[in-house]
Amino acid sequence: MSGTSVVTADLFEDQRAGREALAPGAVWLRGHAIDDAPGLWDGVQQVIAAAPLRHLITPGGQRMSVAMTNCGRLGWVSDRRGYRYETHDPESGHPWPAMPPAFAAVARRAAEEAGYAGFAPDACLVNRYVPRTRLSLHQDRDERDYAAPIVSVSLGLPATFLFGGRARNDKTLRVPLQHGDVVVWGGPARLYFHGVLPLADGLHPLVGAQRVNLTFRAAG
């Protein structure tokens, strides 16, 4: 039964490292960014001072309940014309604020830890959830190519992240994300459906009564 003991040893090691496989190519890195969180939170303040959070309109005309902004060379936007990346904030006409160096460093390190060395994000989407806000199941597929993974960093209140499969109706895992957790999905999982259940009430000591998620992409 040497096969069994190898698997057990691997699992043990994974648990110590706070690492959980969600699917081939997708990993949940518990607490991976916990020491970086205060610096990331400072960066978020600077980004939203320059490019305020706003509720985008979907192509179907619905106002998104998650408030969003971006930093980096490219920013994700949605309006009646569709979903896309833009170099400039459509609200101000200015380029998106630069990605704070600490942001890119955390994303790169997490990607490497998940098996994707050399990740160089050019886009960081900032999502702000207040209690009862949710994000319905979707794929991240507006990026130019899918070779690079998505790196998602959670700050603030806990949330239940749904991680599904290739098809919208595939069964979803419920992942209880906490402040400082990182999820990385790429390779065979790059286009997997995912979403966030309605946020519960609470008060986080650093971030307050909200959850902020940073998703890093190599978009262009």
Q: Which residues bind ligand SIN (CB under 6 A)?
A: 125, 127, 135, 152, 161, 194, 196, 213, 215
User: Cβ atoms within 10 A of the Cβ of 41, count?
Assistant: 16
Question: Starting at the edge strand that comes first in sequence, how are the strands of the sheet with 173-177 ordered?
Answer: 135-138, 194-196, 159-163, 173-177
161 touches, from ligand SIN, Fe ion, none (C-beta below 5 to 8 Å by class) = ligand SIN
- The DSSP letter of residue 95 is B
Output the smallest distance, CB 135 to Fe ion, in A. 7
Site string for Fe ion, 84-123 (x = CB under 5 A): ----------------------------------------
Between residues 89 and 140, which has the closer beta carbon with respect to Fe ion?
Answer: 140
Element (H, E) at 11: helix 2-16
Tell me how far apart the alpha carbons of residues 191 and 167 are, in angstroms, rounded to a whole number.
Answer: 9
Residue 47 binding partner per list ligand SIN, Fe ion, none, with a CB distance cut-off of 5 to 8 Å that depends on partner kind = none
Q: Which of 140, 149, 172, 213 binds Fe ion (CB under 5 A)?
A: 140
Structure tokens that stand for 31 in this block: 């607490």
CB of 191 to ligand SIN, least distance (A): 12
Please identify, using beta-carbon distances, which residue of 108 and 194 lies nearer to ligand SIN.
194
CA–CA separation, 93 and 116 (whole Å): 34
Residue carrying structure tokens 């607490």: 31
Residues forming contacts to Fe ion in the complex (CB under 5 A) are: 140
